[in-house]
Structure 1
Amino acid sequence: MGATLNGLLFYVCAAFSIIHLAHSQNQQGFISLDCGLPSNESPYNEPFTNLTYISDASFLHSGKTGTIHKDLKTHFMKPYTGLRYFPDGIRNCYNLSVMQDTKYLIRTVFVYGNYDGLNASPRFDLYLGPNIWTTIDAKLSGPGMAQEIIHITRSNILEICLVKTGTSTPLISALELRPLPYDTYITRTGSLKYVDRIYFSNSDQGVRYPEDVYDRAWSPFLPVEWTQINTTLNVVDPHKDYNPPQDVIKTAATPAIASEPMTFSWTLDTSDDETYAYLYMADIQKVRNNDTREFDIIANGKVEFDPYSPMKFEVEVLFNRVPLKCEGGLCRVQLSRTRKSTLPPLMNALEIFQVIEFPQSETNQDDVIAMKNIRDTYGLNKISWQGDPCVPKQFLWSGLRCNVIDVSTPPRIIALDLSRNNLTGEVPEFLAKMKSLMLINLSGNKLRGRIPQALLDREKEGLKLTLDGYLRTCKSCKKKFPVVAVVGASLSSVAIIITVVVLIFIFKRKKPSISKVKRSSLELKNRRFTYSEVKDMTNNFQVVLGKGGFGVVCHGFLNNQQVAVKVLSQSSTQGYKEFKTEVELLLRVHHINLVNLIGYCDEGNDLALIYEFMENGNLKEYLSGERDGSVLNWPSRLKIAIESALGIEYLHIGCKPPMVHRDVKSTNILLGQHFEAKLADFGLSRSFLVGSKTHVSTTNVAGTIGYLDPEYYQKHWLTEKSDVYSFGIVLLEIITGQPVIDQSRENSYIVEWAKSMLANGDIESIMDPKLQREYDTGSSWKALELAMACINPSSAERPNMTRVAHELNECLEVYENLTKRRSQDANSSKSTGHSISFVSDTPSAR
């Protein structure tokens, strides 16, 4: 395609003096930094877009300011005429406060403009947090360039870093963030890197804010073999999600020779790169009543899809759910009229993106906040203390040692050396909050006062705390008062002190009996019951709720409240070891998404566990239709998945030591009265180490066939990712309603069955038919892709449970946002359900 040069976006940004200024739009959530702008000139309204720009001075701790050559200033918008450059240090970073889990369009603009008079265009790397984004080579881009991505923030801090890679000096002219609706630009994985954004017109005017409410920069483009059409009528956008500007969708292109197809292509960096394209379609041509416009959309000449007819004066956005790969990196899409069509194909605008992965997790946010607190409290403006403290390793902050397990696990700071930094004031107590720290060296400073008790407590837990000797001498010192002051105390004061002491003594003596009165039987958690009491509460085991490897689960009552009693059978395949493991675990862990242990019986061979009663049984019963044919709807399934994931996440990161469940399956996910989900059956649970070891070697493999991690089964290496695999199988059950193993299927194992169905790219053939299509493709595809990521054969490639829970929340948000939008505009449903896709996947039209 003739308009796919990387620098095109920049020229669009620079050419807005010719655009008519429309009424001002809402800039809520926008961040517009004019880099190098003096603080006393901030803020200002850019005259052509009416965007409000501010100085970047408060968003970083380094850099110097410059201005492009005066002869070039008239060619650029004001925000791009100044710049900030970074002659010192290797990595210099902007620190931006953003909304967590928000989709942003992020644009960076770079104009060298010979600001230094050296005519030496710089080359450097651009990072987003700890991950490389791209390489900026001003020499290849002419006067300047822009880089843009669409990215979801994982925390409330976003860091954009410029990294020196040679002898030239990094620089930046502007930094712009624009929030986008969450249910737009959905990807299977990763973020979207800008390739092209064009509207089909022979105009010479770019379109940006305020015409585009998201401040996307559109450039006009019209191949010589195409013909422009336009309209003066308003084109309706029923959904208001992608919100294309009227100037963009009131023009369109058709082939100059009506019988010819419309073919367009673009180039990716490599054959392995993945791409998404968004086609904006609206039939804006007045035609005869008996005329039809219908065409096929063909990707890379290999696949043909159902014919498509654009709506009359109503815009739709067609895009591929599954990313497209192109042989040799050359992508080609063709719109070809069908035989019954009397009119040629038509298209209004097009956006193209390349998938970019940011795999490295940021350092644990609590650790990051603590380090920034240290930096700000003690004024440690070290040039190296910018960006992520731990990763990439080559930019590790001086004085730190970090534990970096894998790219999906947030690194933790385990050692902090602040010796000989001329620190003054009190010993910093907030260091005790960095629970991962194993060593703190504060020697050689000018600290004073007592060592905070919180740090002394951490020492007892194994923290190595290195301090100057005089601080240690104060470890047990007590504050002394002059004798005169004590002698001079009034008798009334002494009487008051004696009275208070007596009251405290009396209160402490009475406290146990008060507690005893307040605690009801069900509040007496973890109580040991006799076997006789167990028989009484179950009416001699009269009502059996279910059976398993442990034995039977009976219904019972404890002080008129329902309980579930799991009784160990004498012939059970599980024994005392599993019983003991479950009791010990549930005695010390408590979480809203783990089943609550009320008590237990350990009397000779008679073993039982007494749990809170979960009124709606287990998840598998609902998925298989065993519960009187009751069907869980799609949002209920997502909520159950989220709550189950949070329970597993707690075992992995909330327990000390962390635990692996080892038997995550749909029968072990119990549902309460309001279908709240809780994880149960911890008899096979096992603690695992953290630190340098990546796994625990086990002699015997434990788990359930079908849910068992193949890597764990083959190598006997147990990690928390074994639970992730099992949860991925549960998630497949939730999505598909299929049994894990079904010999009547061609592919009996659910994993192989799902892969074979995915090859066809048809979401309806995968989703549980009992849902009767009451779901949306956006959240269902995202959930399915997450399930497939969880069952990746390589444990290192699986997400952790924190990421799983986060992405499931995203799935639910996508569904709820769509439902809300549909309720607000019921007439839009016909467009939302249009069955068309132009590349290798499910129907997607908006």
Structure 2
Amino acid sequence: MMLKFPMLWLLVFSLSPFSSSARPAPYALRISCGARDNVHTPPTYTLWFRDFGYTGGIPYNASRPSDITPPLKTLRYFPLSEGPENCYKFQSVPRGHYSVRIFFGLVPDSDFDNEPLFDISIEGTLIYSMKSGWTKQEDQAFTEALVFLSDGTASICFHSTGHGDPAILSIEILQVDNKAYYFVQGWSEGLILRTAARLTFGTSKARFDEDYSGDHWGGDRYWSPIRNNADHTLATDHRIKQASDAPNFYPEALYQTAVVSSDSQPGLTYTMDVDPNRKYSIWLHFAEIDDRVTGIGQRVFDISINGHPEFQDIDVVKMSGDRYTALVLNTTVAVNGRTLSINLQPKNGGSAIINTIEVFEIIASEFKTLPEEVSALQALKSALGLPHRFGWNGDPCVPQEHPWSGADCHLNTTTNKWFIDGLGLDNQGLRGFLPTDISNLHHLQSINLSGNNIHGAIPSSLGTLTSLELLTIDDNAGLCGIPGLRPCGPHLSASAKIGIGFAVSLCFLLLVICSMCWWKRRQNILRAQMIAARGAPYAKARTHLSHDIQLSKHQNHGHSRTAVENGPSLLS
């Protein structure tokens, strides 16, 4: 298939008036996996944040698999005993377009597989499956993808495939321009671009954007060198116009080296291995830096990909507007086989030139599971104390190659959301209880929890699940609350029952002792009253006698006073 190249598209990026200096620096988060403290690495003094609170796994010393790997000393690995899926979850990530890169590490221990193979997903979409021999190829020591992050979070998961434990050295989440790599057939938030290759010609040095002093909005890309001795190598110190403009911000140095086809081999061909039955976005970079070419029409060539014409009559000077001026061509191709071959064929006995090539695999983003159902499963995981081997990290239904164990998923093609229609957790040694959140699994048709040690009441809210057809809960002696099970009530362990029995016996003994003390005291009171009753007549007689004596004394004393007081009148 041939695509005619629109001149306007060529110049959209190069003539953009947008300036990166008019806005703040892009969001950047770099994690040194397994590190307890922040780390700065030479030569650029790059800051890597400590690894705390993002995930599970085990911190360990690291061995770097290649020279391009960041000089970090720790990693985090995920043994299968912790589950087949393990994720880093980042919060407060601003909405935008990001370059996400994960560097792999090696555990320096003879007991570990020196080349683990595992899958990587971003936001629930599988982006990469590691291939055997990756430790011997520098550009396979990491994987990278361009993604849209829209909900304030970023989720990066590692999925075991049975070939060693995933070991991660570092993670980078670097914001790029929202229009970066807007390709011909249309960019949307539902697409991910995984970096398959970034090649720079005419140099033997592998470099990052940072090494080129590139604009930070470019995302610090890695450029792998390609130098073919059969071709003529070009290099210049001349400034390159329209190189570092928005939205892709390519380092100018990328265009200061190139290769040119030779007389013996007039064409230039680059071939690489790819995954079959995929679509690829291809970006071809040119700048006419050959002093022998001084004007329009002196170098013209065609470009074909896998034998199909893609661009015709490419004249870099004409299409870019001048010599030492950047030109970028983009096309999308479908590849059925395992090879991607790019051929530049000169016309009129001339030669072809190429500076840089980028190849991205186009991946459709997976639809996600309904958030309320994810939360319900997470509550169930906690309440039932699911063993680590279950994992249950990330999204229950995606990537589709790695769903959660025991969860049956179904896609609603109307809402483009996954939901859970079945749970099979029988005979797993579960010992917790059923949370009320389980009723948020609105689409459940069957639940099998038999053969466990689940206890407590079955939530009455399960009755609201109108689609539920099968509840199998045999052999869970501690469950209660529906017909066929024991009534709900106090359910005590043997030790608790013994404790309560002892407490009741102690209380009874105290009650007996108190009763006996009360009875004895009562008997003493009654005996005293009886004695008092028998001695009452004598006591009354004594009381009357004392009263008579006192009265007699009082009367006699009164007469004496009168006689004395009346004495003077009688004598007078």
Deviation, 1:240, is 0.8
User: Distance between the aligned counterparts of 2:80 and 2:168, measured in 1?
Assistant: 12
CA 1:308–1:64: 2 relative to 1, 3 Å: same
Whether 1:193 and 2:200 are equivalent positions in the alignment is no
The 5 Å alignment of 1:213-612 reads 213=216, 214-224=219-229, 225-233=231-239, 235-237=241-243, 239-255=245-261, 257=263, 261-269=266-274, 272-284=277-289, 292-300=297-305, 301-303=307-309, 305-310=312-317, 311=320, 312=322, 313-320=324-331, 322-325=332-335, 329-337=339-347, 345-356=352-363, 361-375=367-381, 382-384=388-390, 385-391=392-398, 396-398=403-405, 400-403=407-410, 409-415=416-422, 421-423=430-432, 428-438=435-445, 455=461, 458=464, 468-469=480-481
**Partner-residue secondary structure (3-state), 2:77:** strand
CA 1:418–1:100: 2 relative to 1, 3 Å: farther
User: Distance between the aligned counterparts of 2:112 and 2:384, measured in 1?
Assistant: 41
Deviation, 1:76, is 5.1
User: Distance between the aligned counterparts of 1:148 and 1:336, measured in 2?
Assistant: 34
The aligned residue for residue 34 of structure 2 is: 36
Deviation, 1:355, is 4.0
User: Distance between the aligned counterparts of 1:78 and 1:53, measured in 2?
Assistant: 11
- Verify the 8 A CA contact 1:227 1:256 in the aligned structure 2: no
The aligned residue for residue 211 of structure 1 is: 214
Amino acid at match of 1:77: P
The aligned residue for residue 84 of structure 2 is: 91
Deviation, 1:47, is 3.0
Amino acid at match of 2:480: D
**Partner-residue secondary structure (3-state), 1:173:** strand
User: Distance between the aligned counterparts of 1:297 and 1:226, measured in 2?
Assistant: 19
- Verify the 8 A CA contact 2:203 2:257 in the aligned structure 1: no
CA 1:76–1:431: 2 relative to 1, 3 Å: closer
User: Distance between the aligned counterparts of 2:60 and 2:279, measured in 1?
Assistant: 38
The aligned residue for residue 71 of structure 2 is: 78
Higher helix share: 1
Deviation, 1:193, is 3.3
What do residues 263-309 of structure 1 show as CA deviations (whole Å, max 9, x unaligned)?
A: 12122346644433211223346678766544233204552614333
Amino acid at match of 2:34: G
Deviation, 1:243, is 0.8
**Partner-residue secondary structure (3-state), 1:215:** coil
Deviation, 1:349, is 1.9
User: Distance between the aligned counterparts of 2:295 and 2:411, measured in 1?
Assistant: 66
- Verify the 8 A CA contact 1:249 1:348 in the aligned structure 2: yes
**Partner-residue secondary structure (3-state), 1:165:** strand
The aligned residue for residue 101 of structure 2 is: 107
Give the alignment partner of residue 150 of structure 1, picking from 146, 152, 157.
146
- Verify the 8 A CA contact 2:62 2:169 in the aligned structure 1: no
CA 1:49–1:193: 2 relative to 1, 3 Å: same
CA 1:218–1:306: 2 relative to 1, 3 Å: same
Amino acid at match of 1:173: L
CA 1:200–1:361: 2 relative to 1, 3 Å: same
User: Distance between the aligned counterparts of 1:73 and 1:244, measured in 2?
Assistant: 25
- Verify the 8 A CA contact 1:274 1:324 in the aligned structure 2: yes
Mark the structure with the bigger radius of gyration.
2
User: Distance between the aligned counterparts of 1:141 and 1:115, measured in 2?
Assistant: 14
The aligned residue for residue 174 of structure 1 is: 170
**Partner-residue secondary structure (3-state), 2:53:** helix
The 5 Å alignment of 1:48-59 reads 48-59=43-54
| TM-score after normalising by structure 1 | 0.44
What do residues 82-139 of structure 1 show as CA deviations (whole Å, max 9, x unaligned)?
A: 3424242451321334769854333222232x51134842342213165544432464
User: Distance between the aligned counterparts of 2:73 and 2:137, measured in 1?
Assistant: 11
What do residues 472-507 of structure 1 show as CA deviations (whole Å, max 9, x unaligned)?
A: 769xxxxxxxxxxxxxxxxxxxxxxxxxxxxxxxxx
Deviation, 1:318, is 0.8
- Verify the 8 A CA contact 1:404 1:410 in the aligned structure 2: yes
What do residues 594-623 of structure 1 show as CA deviations (whole Å, max 9, x unaligned)?
A: xxxxxxxxxxxxxxxxxxxxxxxxxxxxxx
The aligned residue for residue 843 of structure 1 is: none
- Verify the 8 A CA contact 2:383 2:435 in the aligned structure 1: no
User: Distance between the aligned counterparts of 1:58 and 1:198, measured in 2?
Assistant: 37
User: Distance between the aligned counterparts of 1:109 and 1:240, measured in 2?
Assistant: 27
User: Distance between the aligned counterparts of 1:134 and 1:56, measured in 2?
Assistant: 23
CA 1:433–1:74: 2 relative to 1, 3 Å: closer
What do residues 177-227 of structure 1 show as CA deviations (whole Å, max 9, x unaligned)?
A: 333334333465964333321223335351333525211111333322122
CA 1:462–1:202: 2 relative to 1, 3 Å: closer
What do residues 765-809 of structure 1 show as CA deviations (whole Å, max 9, x unaligned)?
A: xxxxxxxxxxxxxxxxxxxxxxxxxxxxxxxxxxxxxxxxxxxxx
Give the alignment partner of residue 60 of structure 2, picking from 66, 89, 100.
66
User: Distance between the aligned counterparts of 1:234 and 1:346, measured in 2?
Assistant: 16
User: Distance between the aligned counterparts of 1:460 and 1:324, measured in 2?
Assistant: 45
Deviation, 1:372, is 3.0
User: What is the count of residue pairs matched by the alignment?
Assistant: 434
The aligned residue for residue 595 of structure 1 is: none
Q: Provide the alpha-carbon RMSD of the alignment.
A: 4.5
User: Distance between the aligned counterparts of 2:415 and 2:266, measured in 1?
Assistant: 45
CA 1:373–1:48: 2 relative to 1, 3 Å: farther
**Partner-residue secondary structure (3-state), 1:78:** coil
Give the alignment partner of residue 45 of structure 1, picking from 12, 29, 40.
40
User: Distance between the aligned counterparts of 1:382 and 1:185, measured in 2?
Assistant: 40
**Partner-residue secondary structure (3-state), 1:305:** strand
What do residues 38-74 of structure 1 show as CA deviations (whole Å, max 9, x unaligned)?
A: 3xx1x3333334433223442222x22222359x899
- Verify the 8 A CA contact 1:35 1:172 in the aligned structure 2: yes
User: Distance between the aligned counterparts of 1:33 and 1:350, measured in 2?
Assistant: 29
User: Distance between the aligned counterparts of 1:54 and 1:400, measured in 2?
Assistant: 35
Q: Whose relative contact order is higher, 1 or 2, with alpha carbons under 8 Å and at least 6 apart?
A: 2
- Give identity over the alignment, percent: 18
Deviation, 1:30, is 2.9
- Verify the 8 A CA contact 1:268 1:354 in the aligned structure 2: no
Q: What runs of 5+ residues in structure 1 fail to find an aligned partner? A: 1-22, 475-846
- Verify the 8 A CA contact 1:417 1:440 in the aligned structure 2: yes
User: Distance between the aligned counterparts of 1:323 and 1:293, measured in 2?
Assistant: 29
CA 1:139–1:203: 2 relative to 1, 3 Å: closer
- Verify the 8 A CA contact 1:440 1:464 in the aligned structure 2: yes
CA 1:261–1:27: 2 relative to 1, 3 Å: farther
User: Distance between the aligned counterparts of 2:94 and 2:373, measured in 1?
Assistant: 17
